């Protein structure tokens, strides 16, 4: 049995409280697999589940997975596409500037699909999402 300091006990207690605040079962299952180090990093950065927002999945393209620690599917919260991507960027700061520009608009190099239906660029950031939706982030491919 190891020696426990008050600091480590406090951190574990904080993680337990954080896990209690996760409302959605699917989100709770996702967070059940998160390591203690990841919990610590998320808590330290202020990433918290938002109870009033919808749980949405984002499929991460292969070329960005190195910036999401290899995660191909990430569960986020938001009621519009922009909010979902902002939540994703808060979880994975290395994605800053990769998906949204500094005005919060989706960069032209990406096509967005929700539940396999294309979203127009003009409606993209404000397009509403609902509980259980899946956002596909697809790179635009040009050529001839």
Span 93-124, pLDDT tens digits:
999 999 988 888 888 889 999 999 988 766 77
Same domain, 144 and 80: yes
What confidence tens digit (pLDDT) does each residue in 38-52 have? Answer: 666 766 776 655 444
What range defines the domain where residue 131 resides? Answer: 50-144
- 100 and 70 in contact (C-beta within 8 Å)? no
Same domain, 45 and 55: no
pTM metric for this prediction: 0.62
For residue 93, which of 37, 39, 41 has the smallest C-alpha distance? 41
Lowest-confidence range among 31-35, 68-72, 94-98, 133-137? 31-35
Question: Which two structure tokens, joined as six digits, stand for 111?
Answer: 């096509």
Same domain, 95 and 125: yes
């Amino acid at each position: 049995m190891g020696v426990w300091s008050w600091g480590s006990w406090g951190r574990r207690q904080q993680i337990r409280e954080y896990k209690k605040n996760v409302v959605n079962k699917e989100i709770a299952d996702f967070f059940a697999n998160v390591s203690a180090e990841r919990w610590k990093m998320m808590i330290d950065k202020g990433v918290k589940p938002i109870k009033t927002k919808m749980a949405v999945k984002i499929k991460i393209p292969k070329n960005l997975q190195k910036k999401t620690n290899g995660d191909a599917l990430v569960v986020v919260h938001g009621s519009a596409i922009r909010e979902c991507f902002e939540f994703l960027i808060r979880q994975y700061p290395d994605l800053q500037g990769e998906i949204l520009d500094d005005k919060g608009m989706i960069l032209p190099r990406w096509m967005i699909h929700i539940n396999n239906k294309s979203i127009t660029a003009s409606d993209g950031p404000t397009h509403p999402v609902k509980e259980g939706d899946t956002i596909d982030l697809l790179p635009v491919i040009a050529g001839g």
